[in-house]
Chain A
């Protein structure tokens, strides 16, 4: 066989979890035993690549032969042999295992910048990155550019922080460059903590050198010679790959003293975070690097003026930094051609919840929610209607289906009470209780509050207590007013972003789903039938066959009835576990 054969096995965490390592091994074995190693060894390589994006269908395997690409989904180790014999050796793809049309739709509306090399390059090989044009930008910058020129380019690109607040990156760099101080620091915030968001991990695992190059360009621009990557210890694979990448970069003289023979010196140290959500807040992150408890500090002063060790410091998140090399390589106008006027470029989102295609997507800013949810996400698996989408994780808000024509950009989302945030998107359908959802997020932020400021420490606790009692059927008529007073107060008086945004899930659901709150409080009903304490179960006499399955399944012995005669549930004894509802073959158990 004359042509290059490349096999790409998704080795993102979801891929690994689905058995990616075994699949990879099996490919190597099968290729060897098929005698393909002798004839195709030099051309056929098994890459372990980063996230391919569509985690729901892992393990995904791409087979490139003769300039053609075929993608297999749900690959198991025992399927490998057939793929090797029929497809690679025999030249006939195994059609029934290939992805269907919706897989292509998943990619059609996406534009990959940050993720463009994730799943393509071998993240453990610096040469792969270099061959793809990596470190070209920094090389050119060091030889030909002034820091101001780089900053102007980034400003012209319109890139804004991808970590949450959306502060213009070029402006941030400019402020740090202009701030007085001999020592300055460049920090990469990889303390991704939003439930359901994992794009930063995917980028570091899939293309760590882009982050390193981004940091180098930033450091050069602001005048820093030392950088830190603050990364969660819970991301062992990312940490490992980053360490390796840094070591490789040092070996090539891309990090260290007098880089590429210029006066520019820069090195990167990895700091492991211990999993405190609040350490993603930049001042808390600084405190943590300084060896103190990760508690936010008041702003102003902003880190660009007085950050790490009181020196001017730029903190950019992973995705922001990974954009930088591509902007510098292809130019600000190329980047700015994507997105809207105020929100340029692309953004990575993590689709989770009640959606067919869960996983990472990268889309141009300004795309509508509808396009994301239906064209890319494929709607719900169950076919039920999507009720709302929670964007921006615990700091974001809930956007109802009626607003799905909203364009996804910083301003539009803020206008409706949510945020872009780090890019989490949790899709909710009619089986999701909005009060319970708000309660879940408040529980999260309350537990993650650092305890420093009163509104966040005590205020979110009180909000949680009120939501607890509402979902338990003990809501009081004035609870909605209390929630509104508390949430507004917490929003405007909390010290850091964590507290200031913590009430968003509550405020947005109060705004768009107020009737659900009222149903809980006044009617003592949970419309989505999620809040157990508000459910009542009963058996429809008409259809009950008296099979006794429910009686046997009931752990509380709340069901009684003679054989072949309609059974009944004792509401006093019922613990609302739903077992009877699950086991009934005749849909005779009703609940409300």
Chain B
């Protein structure tokens, strides 16, 4: 531990951490845009500049590690003026279309603009314009909203190991590019979408499904592989608007393409909505169309039919003539109850699930 002074307060912090970490641990707010706790340092947005005694110019809190007896000021009139200038510069090259933006209400840039009361018109000038839309089916890349914080580039390299994107061009024309600026063709994990602080990267599926204030968040577990990633399901009315992951969950906010973008089956029109009872015998020559195969039934009728047929068969051929196959996609409780039903009600150990497949 070393003792440092932040804004006149003496605090003890572990050696080797950054000024930003030290401040956050002690409840001192320093604005950031490019910093991300799960990624390596970048130091590009310059918003987290602080004054450190002995340094000629402000240093970035996110990249500077603490030293013994360091004296730090996080908020002086001069620093706030510089932050304001930086925000003005970012906003001077940013579309002012928050009213249409998917990220409105959850956008760090919007929040900071509000906090600092900055609109970016002071330095109005040329804005980057990109007309080509990325044709990939998963991720909307609106590079006019990109502030080049580099988070997406780093998450793609450091977490996903893919390196699908990198910085391209120089100066004002600098932008995040795919190889040869072709359409994004990657693992579509959407990690970049997760870490993007603005509306530059969003899910194509999210479009006009609802923004932050109209969404209800439900914490649950991904329905796909056995990793069991924690997900946050964002619901608008009775529809899933998007799926994200919390950065403080054990999976650290990371998901795969299925977990992040594979939720739409739940709202599919193909879903079964009523019990069905077979009209025609099985086997060769069964019709293709669903309505020729089945008729709709009430739950009462369907359940009665199942119960009575199972009882008949049990009576006629013994319980071991019946088998139950459960699913690895059902809950623990459902599986427990299913095997209890097969064992205790039907009376057989013919119960299994798809673990072997």
Contacts and interface: CB of A to CB of B under 8 A. Distances in A.
B171 A447 contact: yes
Interface string A274-302: 00101000000000000001010110110
B171 A489 contact: no
A250 interface: no
Interface in A436-460: 446-455, 457-460
A298 B63 contact: yes
The 3 A-B pairs at the shortest CB distance, nearest first, are namely A451-B174, A298-B63, A298-B43
Interface in B137-194: 147-148, 150, 166-167, 169-175
Contacts of A449: 170-172, 174
Given A454-B147, A492-B82, A495-B60, 6 more contacts: A298-B43, A452-B42, A452-B150, A453-B44, A454-B90, A465-B125
29 contacts: A278-B170, A297-B43, A298-B42, A298-B63, A298-B64, A451-B167, A451-B169, A451-B170, A451-B171, A452-B42, A452-B148, A452-B150, A452-B174, A453-B44, A453-B45, A454-B86, A458-B89, A458-B90, A458-B93, A482-B122, A485-B85, A486-B85, A489-B85, A492-B58, A493-B46, A493-B58, A493-B82, A495-B44, A495-B46
B65 A457 contact: no
A298 B171 contact: no
Contact of B174 (A300, A457, A459, A493): A457
A365 B122 CA distance: 44
A500 interface: yes
Contact of B125 (A301, A462, A494): A462
A490 to B, nearest CB: 9
A461 interface: yes
Nearest to A495: B43
B57 A500 contact: yes
B167 A457 contact: no
Interface residues of A, number: 35
Contacts of B166: 293
Contacts of B147: 454
Nearest to B172: A461
A465 B174 contact: no
B200 interface: no
Which of B45, B58, B166, B170 has the most chain A CB within a 10 Å cutoff?
Answer: B170
A457 B58 CA distance: 18
Which interface residue of A449, A455, A461 has the most chain B CB atoms within 10 A? A461
Contacts of B123: 462, 482, 486
Nearest to A452: B44
A457 B92 CA distance: 12
Interface in A463-491: 465, 482, 485-486, 489, 491
A6 B172 CA distance: 54
A298 B60 contact: yes
Given A454-B90, A492-B82, A293 B172 contact: no
B284 interface: no
Interface residues of B, number: 36
B118 to A, nearest CB: 13
Contacts of A489: 82, 85-86
A447 B46 CA distance: 20
B49 interface: yes
A453 B123 CA distance: 17
Nearest to B56: A492
B128 to A, nearest CB: 10
Given A452-B44, A454-B45, A458-B90, A465 B170 contact: no
B41 interface: yes
A298 B46 contact: no
Contacts of A447: 170-171
Given A462-B125, A465-B126, A486-B123, A457 B172 contact: yes
A461 B171 contact: yes
> In the complex, which of the residues A297, A455, A458 has the most CB atoms of chain B within 10 Å of its own CB atom?
A458
A462 B88 CA distance: 11
- Residue of B86, B90, B92 ringed by the most chain A CB atoms within 10 A: B86
Nearest to A300: B64
Contacts of A500: 57
Interface of A: 276, 278, 293, 295, 297-298, 300-301, 446-455, 457-462, 465, 482, 485-486, 489, 491-495, 500
A453 B43 contact: yes
A462 B125 CA distance: 7
A276 B170 CA distance: 9
Nearest to A278: B170
Contacts of B172: 446, 449, 451, 457-458, 461
Interface string B42-72: 1111100100000001101001110000000
A455 B86 contact: yes
Contacts of B150: 452
A448 B171 CA distance: 6
Given A298-B60, A462-B123, A492-B57, A455 B171 contact: no
Given A454-B86, A458-B93, A500-B57, A446 B126 contact: no
Contacts of B92: 458, 462
A505 to B, nearest CB: 16
A462 B171 contact: no
Contacts of A278: 170
B58 A450 contact: no
Nearest to A444: B171
Nearest to B91: A458
A454 B126 CA distance: 15
B204 to A, nearest CB: 26
B261 to A, nearest CB: 29
A450 B41 contact: no
Nearest to B85: A489
A484 to B, nearest CB: 12
B167 A493 contact: no
Nearest to B176: A451
A301 B18 CA distance: 12
B148 A451 contact: yes
Interface in B73-97: 82, 85-86, 89-90, 92-93
B46, B63, B65: residue with the most chain A Cβ atoms closer than 10 Å: B46
B125 A452 contact: no
Contacts of B43: 297-298, 453, 495
Nearest to B173: A451
A578 to B, nearest CB: 29
A151 B133 CA distance: 58
Given A453-B44, A454-B44, A493 B86 contact: yes
Contacts of B169: 451
Contacts of B60: 298, 495
A489 B123 CA distance: 13
A448 B125 CA distance: 19
Nearest to B174: A451
A450 B86 CA distance: 17
Nearest to A296: B43
Contacts of A465: 125-126
Contacts of B167: 293, 295, 450-452
Interface in B23-43: 41-43
A492 B92 CA distance: 20
Nearest to B93: A458
A450 B173 CA distance: 10
A590 B346 CA distance: 110
Interface in B290-345: none
A495 B44 CA distance: 7
From A297, A453, A460, residue with most partner B Cβ within 10 Å: A453
Contacts of B170: 276, 278, 447-451
A453 to B, nearest CB: 5
B46 A455 contact: yes
Contacts of B58: 492-493
Contacts of A458: 89-90, 92-93, 172
B90 A461 contact: no
Contacts of B63: 298, 300
Contacts of A460: 171
A219 B86 CA distance: 41
